[in-house]
Structures are given as structure tokens and as C-alpha cells.
Amino acid sequence: MSNFLRAVIDGVLTGSVYALMAAGLTLIFGVMEVINIAQGILVVLGAYLSYVLSVHLGIDLFAGLIITIPVMFVLGVGIQWGLMRRLGEREKVSMSILVTYAVAIILEGVLDLIFGPGYLQLTAWYVNQSIHVFGFYLPYIYVFGFILAVGLLGSLYFILYRTEFGRSLRASQQNKTAARLIGIDVNRVAAITFGIGVAVTAAGGMVFGATTAFNSNSSADLISRLLTIVILGGMGSIGGAMGASVLMLVIEAIVSTYWSPTWATLVFYMVLVLVLVVRPAGLFGQKAVRAQ
Amino acid sequence: MSALTKTFKSMSKAKLAAVVVAIAVIAVFPLVFTNPTVTEIAIFALMFMATSSAWNGFAGSSGYFSLGHAIFFGVGAYAFTIIANDFKMAPTSALFFLMPVAGVFAMVAAVGVGAVALRTKRHTFVVITIGIFFIFQLLGFNLNVTGGASGLQVPTPSNWNAATFNNPFYYAAAILLGFTVLLYWIIKRSAFGLQLLSIRDDEERARGLGVPVWRVKLSAFVVSAFPVGMAGALFAYLIGQIYPQTVFNPLFDLSWALMTLVGGIGTIVGPLLGGVVLESIQQYLNLYLSNVDIYLIIYGVVFLAVMFWMPRGIVPTVVGAVKRRRGTPTGPTSIATSDDKQPAKPDQTAGLIVTAKGATE
Amino acid sequence: MIKLRRKAAPNFGRRKLGAALGAAVAAGGFLAACGSSSASSTSGSTTTSKPIVIGISLPLSGDFSADGLAFKQGYEIWADYVNSHGGLLGRQVQLKIISDNSDPAQAQTDYQQLITVDHADLVFGPFSTLLTIPAAKVANRYGYAMIEGAGGGPSAFALGLNNLFDVSAPVANALVPAAKWLASLPVGQRPKTAAYPTSNDPFTEPQVLIAKKIMEAAGIKTVYFNVFGSEVTDFTPIASAVAASNADVVILGSVDVPTVSAFIQDFAQQHYNPKALVATGGPDQGSQFIAAVGAANANGVMVPNTWYPGASAPGSNAMVSTYIKKFGGTVSNVSADVAEAYSVGQVAAQAVTHVGSLNQKAIIQYLHSGVTLTSVQGPVKFDNLGENTAAAIYGFQWVNGTFKQVLPLSDPNSSGLLYPKPNWGA
């Protein structure tokens, strides 16, 4: 039983990190119907930014987010304004994959140029320490990461559902032409959405960098897992991304404990396929993702 | 066959001449450029031109953007290797005849993959193909029959002359390319090809017009797996070893997509041209620019430039410009322009489906 | 050595795809080269001031980029050292390094380019078995010796190529010194239980199985044994399960820094302090390892290895000082990868000097003659498969910030072993 509980706790805690990394992706995917392949490298960029602030300026990792989040926001707005805005409506998904892939390799080249291929990891007192609760050690970094995820994603939810901007954003998510007709500046909404999506990723990158040793090539393993989470959670659903991240990582941890770590990753993708066959809208989404 | 001869006859003399010249150039290329580095590069070029054509034959014609075709490359490579090893086949020229067998295995895999993935809408299709792709890659890592992370060794011909070692591989790749181009050239002119285009333009409308949407999509998917599987087999034989991550390689799909889009999606010549252009740039930057970071950055910038400068791809842009100058109207039977990314002209497509059906029945 | 191949993860890492009629682009160079591909192997007889060209393909981007860069540094400082000490056969050496982006297909193209277009006089190996196999096959086709330092997986030697020489130690027995030491401890100190998490990598699993057998024979009970896929990215569940087993010692089959770092971080968080942690790869990467896990957590971590910053093997001091002169930093920046690459250069230089020419046939014959050569990693003697049979593997440990040889205890250079391992952070 304690093995089972431990697997569940591990899954929930690591799942919150994935939720932070996936939130930006689902927002961008849901609102603009573009797939941002660069999400993985943006996570790594967030980690590098936090690294620079903490090592060179001695700023705490969490405090540093006050700087990295706006920086990443500007970058996101820049990518949308400079590149994504120019994509035509037809073939938008395919073109977005290729354009963001190009952005990803440029960013990777730049990061490699500046930092080299050596591995780095973010450090702070809470990175290696843990709190003892009910016989389980909960690492502070994951606990803080979890609180950050709930806080940030909660605010995002608030912005989406309780503000004027959120209403225009959801309007353009549902019907672009109608949104335009009632006077919403769709381009502006898109730019800000992309900005927010990338900004949230700064937080995901920081927690990622504090829990994993990374280099510029680390983005490689991330994007497929993040896309899986986004589809399962339902495109555009922030809560869905959180739910799907936690669920997937709990399943993975349980398979790893009771069966074999070798098959845990496989199960991750099997769940995706099974869910899409049975419930095409994803676990939490309302938008149908099925053709027929 | 009569349809084939008819379509040949419909070609203009200039086009026919161009095809003959292209075949002649490919045939004599390794006899003129004998350096093994050149022929090695040429083998990869031909292989990627063929696989891009197959990718385009499905994705470009149906509008379903696949990031899972590398599954068929991997299945072909593993099928080839496992069969060759299990039956202790000697590494001779005869081993090339195993390529179509590997292609059939890839088609079988495609039936299963397509049955699951093609149920979803286009956005989701992209992601589910990635998901299924990783299932295959992970199986490659974890099954005994695939050798797991250690991969499998493929026998390499040991008594072939170093100077001409690459030539059999070259001609195998050239035949694969010729076969693939011919296949899609025929499909493009068939009722089946038109049905596919109608699905791309408007799936619901196509269904309304009586197109068996599901069967057409799945058939196109499965057919496109065949050349890709054969290319996987050729790759395995040429490199002499396969690992899950080198044959189930997610970047294959991105590259096929890039080559196709740069050349011109949905056209016959597009993927061929895109393959040559992109691979030349890549190879040149790799061999002559020692700084890897700069190479990445330049490559990314070049992509972006081409995509924004010629969003429809090289072939449609150039052909469009030429046609505008000549004042020729563009018709759907022309190779390059039948699928301009202009908004669809449903009436025209619909009419064509009916005519094409009439022609084959 | 030991860490022969980094994680082979499923990924979107950029990778080169074959190529195109780049022929047209580079036709000039290629054409000039046609038809004289055999010239290089006999050029030793016409000694001129022309430099000796050494062709190398390395993974400077992609999965192996960190190791590829370290290898590049190792080759470069070897060349610098040789050139500042009279060169080879009285000629300067010139490295021609191109990247293969961790892609075997590109490695195959690269070596054809190096041999037939650049007319390399010698070729040195890339990094990893995955890239070495196609490279060695091409070299074999042209009769070139393929001397390499990190391509010693069983599948490479299974090819039976007579031109392949791995200067580093074969991996399978790497954990033997550590396992034997644990098994021989007095009963009071000897661990009672052990955990063996290992990657399914061909270079870790065999080592771990051999260590497990030795330790079980000594009555050390196995409380955890699990193989995880080399593509696993999230180690928390596995590390937590190991911690929950509360084994006295952990033998970790890891291939890279991030894996070891993830396990150590989780162990520290779980307040799980095994008496010993031996990892197959990662802790040997010098300052990179320290940067990832932190100096305090590194204390007491062990790894099998053949070279370390305080080593006294021939050329070791020269290598370290050349490294610092060229790249700055301190001795701990010199990783095992650098030493592996440097050893390749040393062995090649001895062979060329003895043969007195660049005749590949003679070089291959000499390396197969059973002669014992020297390198910064220790003695080198090849069997008929090209494995280094003279290599000795030692146990190393991070002790208060320095990387020290501690095993076998009988070796005069071993000292200062920390056991039990201090607690994390101490």
C-alpha cells in the first residue's frame, strides 16, 4: 500500500511540473489552432534564463520568475507578431509545425553558442531538501512547484473566464469571424495569448531545470510528452492540462513500480491512443477532435 | 494500361523530353561522378526524394499532415534486417529483392495505424501520429526481436570494390524513386486521386457527393507506406546497422514535410526539388561550415525565409509566375498547379470526380 | 571511459538526413579528388613539409554533443602537443574534423569524404559504438586503421573487422573492482542488501549483472533489481522505489550525468543514505558532474574509470597542462572523454613512429602484433578483435571535492577510500 501511495505522490508532484510546461502549449493550441513545436526548447530557455539570474546575479529561482516571465512574454509576442501572424488560414497547422520547428533549431543553436553543450542544473536550498509528512518525504522543490502550478494556472483560469480579455480570447477561440465582427482585435488577442503561453513556460522551465540536469539538447524528449498531455487534457483547457499531466504521471509511476520502468513510457502513449479511440474529445475537453 | 498510355500521350513534348533527360541524367550520374562521397550523397538524395514523394502522396493530397510515416521506414528497416538475419541471407545484390517484402510489412503496419489515427480530425491526427510513432519506437527499444537498445546488425557486402561499392545501392534507390514517382503520377490522374483531392478540399462535401471517404483515406495511407518501407530497408542495408532511434526517427517526417512544402505540396516535382535544394544546403553547411551552432542558426533562418518568401513552395510559385507572364490559364490537370493553395473550387472538383468516375467505369 | 554511449532517447533532437545532390555544390572539390583515393596510404615515403592530415567525424550536435565536444578537445590538445614537440615523422599534424550530428548515416558519409576527398592520412574514431560501426566499415573498405576511444560495445567487435582498435578498456568487467571490494569487506562492515537499477543500455546492463553475481555470491541480498529503458526521462518513481527498498548499497547502471544527478537528488530528498553508491557513468565527467549534482552531494560517489586528474600514466601531465593552456580551467575540467581521445592520438603516434610511414597495412599489422603501447589511460595491448586486453580498470571516488583513485585497495596509487559514504550534503 505504501508503495502504491508513494507512486501516486510521485506522479502528482512530477505531474505538476509537466502541467506548468504544458499549460502554454494548450493555450496556444486551443486558441490559435497552431502546434508550437518550439515549446520544448522554450522550456529549456526558461531554465537557462533562471540559471543566469541565479548564478550571475544571485537572484532566487522563484523570485527570478518576476524577471523571466515578462522576458518570455515579449519573446512570445515577438514570435506571434513576426512569424505566426503571417500564416494563411489554410494549411495553418502544418505550416505552424514547420515554422516553430525552424524557431526551435535557431533557439537551440543560439543557446548552444552561448552556453555550450555541458549539463547544468539549478540549485537552491530547497532543491535537495524535503519535508516529512505522514511517513513520506516530499521534496520542497516539487511542493513549491505544485503550489506555483496551482497558483499560476489558477490565475490563467481567472484571466480566461473572469476578464474582458478572457472573453475576447474565448470568443476568438470559438469563432474567429464572429469575434472580428463584434469588434475584437483578433491579431492583438493572438499576440497576447502567444505571449502568455510562452510566459507561463518560463515557470515550467525553472522547475524543470531545478529537477533535471539539462543542456540545449534536452528539449528533445519533451515535446512529444507535452503534446500528448495537451491532447488528452483537451486542447485549450488549462484545467485539463493539469488533470492530464497528473493522471499520466501517476499512471506512469504505478506502471513503473508494479510492472517495469521499461514499459512505463510505452503505457503513456498507449493511453493516448486508447483515449482518442474511445473518447475523441480528450479526457477533459469539450471540442470534438474526431472527424466523423 | 490504356489509361497509362493515354496519360502519356497527354503529356506535352517538352515535358516528355524533360522526363527523358532526367532519367538519363540519373542513369549515368555515378558513371560520371565516380567519387564514393558523391554517390553516397546521391543515394541519400534519391532516397529522400522518393520518401518525400510518398509522404506528399498521402499528406499533400489528403490534407492529413502525418508525423508518423517514419513508422513505416522503421518497420521496413526492421523487417528487412530480421528476415535477412533469420534466413542467413548472404549480403549480395540479391538482397535488394527483399526491399518490396519489407515494403509489404510496412503496408500491414499502415493498415493498423491508419485504422486508429484516421478516425480523428486533422489537428488531432498530427498528434496521434506522433503518439503512435513513439509507441513503435519504444517497442523497438523494448522487444527482444528488435534487439532493444543495442539494435541489430545487417550484413554488409565484404567483397565489393571500394571504388564502386555504392553503385548497386545507388541504382536501387534510383529504381525506388522512379517507381514512386510513376505510382503517384498515375494516382494523380486517376479517379482515386481526384477523390483524395476532394477530401482535402472539403471532407463533408466529398462524402455528400458519394466519395467513400474512409476507404479512400485509408487506402492512400497504406499505399504511401510501401515506398517508405522499401526506403527503410535500403537504409538498413546501406548503413549496416539499425537502432530504434535511427530508423524510427521523428525528424524524418519533419524533413519530408519541409522538402515537400519548400518544393510545393501536392505537386509531383515539388518534393523532388525540395529534397535536392534542402539536402544540398544541409550537406554543404555540414561539410564546409565547422561551427555547428552557426550551422543550426543559418539552417533555421533559411527555412523561415523560404517559407515566408514562397509560402506555396518553389514549384507553384515559379510555375505561377511563368504562367502569368504567358497568360496561360492554369488547369487542374497541370502537374504543378492542380493544387494551388487557393480556396478550393468545389464545383470544378466535383465535376471532375464525376467525369473521372465515368471514365473508369 | 565506461560511459561509451549517452542516452539514446526518442526525441526531436535535430538530426541530419542523408543528403542531396550537394554534389553540384561541392563538385569542384569532389572532382579534383576523383581517382586518386589510394594516394594517401603511400604518401609516407615522400616525406615533405606537408602536414599529416587526420580525418575525424564527431557528434558536435545532437544526442552526443557534450561528449563530442570533449572528444574534440582531447584530439586538439593531442595535436597541439605533438606539433609543439617536433610533429609526427617530422611533419606537423593537421586535424580535419567534421560533424556527424550523432547520426550514423552522416558518419558514414563523413568518413567517405575524409578518405576520398580530403585524402586523410589517418582516421580517428567518432564517439559511441553507434557511430563507430559505420565509420569502421568505411575505413575497412579502404584499408584504413580505425583507432578509436569510445566505440567498444560488443556489437562493434562482433563485426570481426581487423582494422578496428579500441584503446579504452572493454566495459563488461568495469564494476569488478568495486564489487569484489564490497564482497570482501569484514562481516560487520559488509553491506547486507543491494539495489541494482540499470538502464537497458548495452554498456551498463552487462556490467551490472556481473557485479550482482559477485556480490550475491558473497551473501549480499538483492532487494531491488530493475531495468529501465534508455529513453526514460523521469527517474523519480524508479529512484523512490530504490530508496524505499532501503538497500545498503546502490549499483546504478547509468550512461550520463542527468541520470545520476536525478537519482542523487531523489535519494537526498528521501533522506536515503546508502553506504555506497557506484554509478557506471556520469561521475567520471569531472566538473560537468559537479555542476549538476553539487560538490556536497558528490562526496563519496564512486565510478569505475581508467584515467583521473592525478594519474601518473605517461603523458598525463603533458595532457593536463596542454588542456589548461588551450582551454583554461583547472585539472577537474579534463573529463574522461578528453583522456580517451588523447589516448587514441598517443597510440596512433606510437604505431606511425614505429612503422616509420603512414602505410595503413603496416600500422594495422603492428597494432595486431601483440606489442604493448602506452597511453594516459595506461597500457594498451590489442587482441585479434582490437580490444585492449592490457587495460586496467580502477575504482574512483569523489572525496571532498577531488576525484581520487581508491580501488583496488592493493594498488599503490589507491588511497583515502570513504566508506560508508558520508550523508548527502555533508
Question: Each residue of C301-321: pLDDT tens digit?
Answer: 999 987 766 667 778 888 999
- Whether residue A135 is predicted with pLDDT greater than 90 in this model: the reply is no
Chain A residue with minimum CA distance to B265:
A91
Which range among A8-17, B177-186, B352-361, C130-139 shows the weakest confidence by mean pLDDT?
B352-361
Most confident listed range (A203-217, B65-79, B190-204, C216-230): B65-79
Residue with the bigger pLDDT between B181 and C48: it is: B181
% chain C with pLDDT above 90? 51
Structural element, H or E, at residue A138: strand A136-139
Q: How far is B186 from chain C (nearest CA, A)?
A: 26
pLDDT confidence of residue C21 = 32
Strands C402-407 and C146-148: unpaired
The ipTM value here is 0.82
Chain C residue with minimum CA distance to B254:
C12
Chain B residue with minimum CA distance to C100:
B286
- Whether residue C3 is predicted with pLDDT greater than 50 in this model: the reply is no
User: Considering only CB atoms, which chain B residues are within 8 Å of A103?
Assistant: 300, 304
Confidence of residue B8 (pLDDT cuts 50, 70, 90): low
Residues 206-235 of A with CB under 8 A from B: 224, 227-228, 230-231, 235
pLDDT confidence of residue B2 = 56
- Is A265 near chain B, with CB under 8 Å? yes
- Whether residue C29 is predicted with pLDDT greater than 70 in this model: the reply is no
**C226 strand-pairing partners:** C197
The helices-and-strands tally (H runs, E runs) of chain A is 12, 2
Mean of pLDDT over chain B:
84
Residue with the bigger pLDDT between A90 and B317: it is: B317
Q: How far is B274 from chain C (nearest CA, A)?
A: 10
- Is A37 near chain C, with CB under 8 Å? yes
Contact C12 A253 (CB under 8 A): no
User: Using one digit for the tens of pLDDT, what is the confidence trace for A260-269?
Assistant: 887 888 888 8
pLDDT confidence of residue A196 = 93
Contact C244 A120 (CB under 8 A): no
Most confident listed range (A22-31, A273-282, B169-178, C31-40): B169-178
Chain A residue with minimum CA distance to B139:
A266
- Whether residue B361 is predicted with pLDDT greater than 80 in this model: the reply is no
Contact A277 B119 (CB under 8 A): yes
Residues found in chain A: 292
3-state secondary structure chain C: CCCCCCCCCCCCCCCCCCCCCHHHHHHHHHHHHCCCCCHHHHHHHCCCCCCEEEEEEECCCCCCHHHHHHHHHHHHHHHHHHHCCCCECCECEEEEEEECCCCHHHHHHHHHHHHHHCCCCEEECCCCHHHHHHHHHHHHHCCCCEEECCCCCHHHHCCCCCCEEECCCCCCCCCHHHHHHHHHCCCCCCCCEEEEEEECCCCCHHHHHHHHHHHHHCCCEEEEEEEECCCCCCCHHHHHHHHHHCCCEEEEECCCHHHHHHHHHHHHHCCCCCCEEEECCCCCCHHHHHHHHCHHHHCCCEEEECCCCCCCCCCHHHHHHHHHHHHCCCHHHCCHHHHHHHHHHHHHHHHHHHHCCCCHHHHHHHHCCCCCECCCCCCECECCCCCECCCCCEEEEEECCEEEEEECCCCCCCCCCCCCCCCCCC
- Whether residue B221 is predicted with pLDDT greater than 60 in this model: the reply is yes
pLDDT confidence of residue C172 = 79
Mutate to test the interface with A, among C7, C236, C334, C423 (most CBs of A within 10 A): C236
pLDDT confidence of residue B25 = 92
Chain B residue with minimum CA distance to A260:
B142
- Whether residue A233 is predicted with pLDDT greater than 50 in this model: the reply is yes
pLDDT confidence of residue C140 = 93
Distance of CA B244 to the CA centre of its chain: 21
- Whether residue A189 is predicted with pLDDT greater than 90 in this model: the reply is no
pLDDT confidence of residue C13 = 31
Phi, psi of C228 (to 5 degrees): -110, 155
User: Using one digit for the tens of pLDDT, what is the confidence trace for C209-254?
Assistant: 999 999 999 999 999 998 887 777 788 889 988 999 999 999 999 9
Residue with the bigger pLDDT between C7 and C201: it is: C201
**Mean of the pLDDT values across residues A1-18?**
87
Query: CATH homologous superfamily of domain C176-306+393-407?
Result: Response regulator (3.40.50.2300)
Contact B135 A270 (CB under 8 A): yes
Instruction: Please report all neighbours of A, defined by 3+ CB atom pairs within 8 A.
Output: B, C
pLDDT confidence of residue C42 = 40
Of B119, B132, B299, the CB nearest to A290: B119
- Whether residue A36 is predicted with pLDDT greater than 70 in this model: the reply is yes
Residue with the bigger pLDDT between B56 and A174: it is: B56
**Mean of the pLDDT values across residues A16-31?**
89
- Is A1 near chain C, with CB under 8 Å? no
pTM: 0.86
- A&B contacts, CB < 8 Å: 138
Of C11, C292, C293, the CB nearest to A221: C11
Q: What is the CA radius of gyration of chain C?
A: 22
Give the domain ranges of chain C.
Answer: 22-170+315-367, 176-306+393-407
Query: Three-state DSSP class for A214?
Result: strand
Supply C339's cell numbers.
583522456
Residues 205-264 of B with CB under 8 A from A: 214, 250, 254, 257-258, 261
**Mean of the pLDDT values across residues C400-418?**
86
Q: How far is C172 from chain A (nearest CA, A)?
A: 22
Mutate to test the interface with B, among C6, C14, C17 (most CBs of B within 10 A): C17
Contact A221 C233 (CB under 8 A): yes
Chain B residue with minimum CA distance to C156:
B153
pLDDT confidence of residue A289 = 39
Of C66, C68, C228, the CB nearest to A119: C66
pLDDT confidence of residue C47 = 47
Most confident listed range (B47-56, B343-352, C385-394): B47-56
User: Using one digit for the tens of pLDDT, what is the confidence trace for B21-40?
Assistant: 999 999 999 999 988 888 98
Give the domain ranges of chain A.
Answer: 19-220
Mean of pLDDT over chain C:
84
Chain A residue with minimum CA distance to C232:
A265
Chain B residue with minimum CA distance to C117:
B37
Q: How far apart are CA A219 and CA A46, in angstroms?
A: 11
Q: Could you check whether C22-170+315-367 and C176-306+393-407 share the same CATH topology?
A: yes
Confidence of residue A1 (pLDDT cuts 50, 70, 90): low
pLDDT confidence of residue C32 = 37
pLDDT confidence of residue A291 = 34
Which range among A202-211, C5-14, C171-180 shows the weakest confidence by mean pLDDT?
C5-14
User: Using one digit for the tens of pLDDT, what is the confidence trace for A98-128?
Assistant: 899 999 989 998 998 898 878 888 988 888 8
Confidence of residue C197 (pLDDT cuts 50, 70, 90): very high
pLDDT confidence of residue B292 = 67
Contact B65 A230 (CB under 8 A): no
Confidence of residue A282 (pLDDT cuts 50, 70, 90): low
Residue B217 near residue B44, CB atoms below 8 Å: no
- Distance of CA C19 to CAs A8, B55, C22, Å? 47, 18, 7
pLDDT confidence of residue B9 = 65
Confidence of residue C147 (pLDDT cuts 50, 70, 90): very high
User: What number does CATH give the domain C22-170+315-367?
Assistant: 3.40.50.2300
pLDDT confidence of residue B340 = 40
- Whether residue C283 is predicted with pLDDT greater than 70 in this model: the reply is yes
pLDDT confidence of residue B328 = 58
Contact A273 B124 (CB under 8 A): no
Distance of CA C334 to the CA centre of its chain: 13
% chain C with pLDDT above 70? 88
pLDDT confidence of residue B106 = 98
- Is A215 near chain C, with CB under 8 Å? yes
- Is A263 near chain B, with CB under 8 Å? yes
Q: How far is B131 from chain A (nearest CA, A)?
A: 6
pLDDT confidence of residue B219 = 96
Residue with the bigger pLDDT between B337 and B150: it is: B150
User: Using one digit for the tens of pLDDT, what is the confidence trace for C324-357?
Assistant: 999 988 887 888 889 999 999 999 999 999 999 9
User: Considering only CB atoms, which chain C residues are within 8 Å of A117?
Assistant: 65-66, 68-69
% chain A with pLDDT above 90? 37
